[in-house]
Every structure is written in structure tokens, then in C-alpha cells.
Amino acid sequence: MRRPDPDFTKYADFFDKKNIKEYKAGEYVFQKGDKGDCMFVVLDGQVEVVAEDRVLSVIEKGYIFGEMALIDSSPRSADVRALSDCTLASIDEYAFRFLVKRMPNFTLDILSVMANRLRSVNASLHLHH
């Protein structure tokens, strides 16, 4: 049985308050192709990840998104927009590196999320064969 995704709000003490922003329902956080220079933690509300007019996932309080761009410096691979009014903390490369160096559990939590997402994609590919 897979472990549930970790709750990243437990790292909130390390988030820079100036990087916490409110988004209104329907507002884009970023769009496919945008430069990816930060990841996000949902502190309140929900966002949806959309590609080719399909909702790929809904991300709720405590979860993260946008982490791939920080890891491989690639442009955003999907749109993310606020599903409800929400509060997000952005973590730039400097903060990300700080957390990775100082908090081994942060790194393990990121890896856990990415592994869970990869398993979901693999499972959905097997269903479509």
C-alpha cells in the first residue's frame, strides 16, 4: 500500500512571508510554457492542473505542485489555476536548496510525491492498453 502524500504545511515556518500570495477562483497561477522558477505549497483552498482542456488533478491544502521545474529547470508542462480562492506559498530555488540541505525529510517528501505521481501515470497507462 502506498504512503499518502506528505503535508508540506509542516514546513511553513521556513516559507518567506513575502512569497505567500492569494489567488481568486479561476485565476491562473502559471500556464504551460512559462518559465518554472519556483514550486508551490497550497496553504488553503484548491488548484487544478489542466492540460489540453483536461483536468489532470486537483491539488488541495498541504500538497505541492510545480516542483519538476525546480528540479530540471524545464518550462511548465501544464496550466495551474485556482479552483477556489486559495493561498499559496512559492518556494524559489534558493529556498528549495536551503530546505534540501537542512531538512532531509523535505527531500524525502518531494521524492515521495514524485514517486506517487509517477505510479499514478503508470497505472493510468496500463488501464488504457
Question: For residue range 85-101, what is the model confidence (pLDDT) as tens digits?
Answer: 999 999 999 999 999 99
Edge-to-edge strand list for the sheet holding 20-23: 20-23, 86-92, 38-44, 64-65
Specify the CATH number for the domain of residue 61.
2.60.120.10
CB under 8 Å to 44, separation ≥6 — which residues?
61, 86, 87
Q: Is residue 50 part of a domain?
A: yes
Q: What backbone torsions phi and psi does residue 123 show, to the nearest 5 degrees?
A: -65, -40
pLDDT for 5 beyond 90: no
Q: Which domain holds residue 34?
A: 8-127
Q: Is residue 2 part of a domain?
A: no
For the entire predicted model, the pTM comes to 0.89
Q: Is residue 1 part of a domain?
A: no
Q: Is residue 61 part of a domain?
A: yes
Express each pLDDT in 28-71 by its tens digit. 999 999 999 999 999 999 999 999 989 989 999 999 999 988 88
Q: Is residue 98 part of a domain?
A: yes
- Name the pairing type of β-strands 20-23 and 86-92: antiparallel
What is the total count of domains within the chain? 1
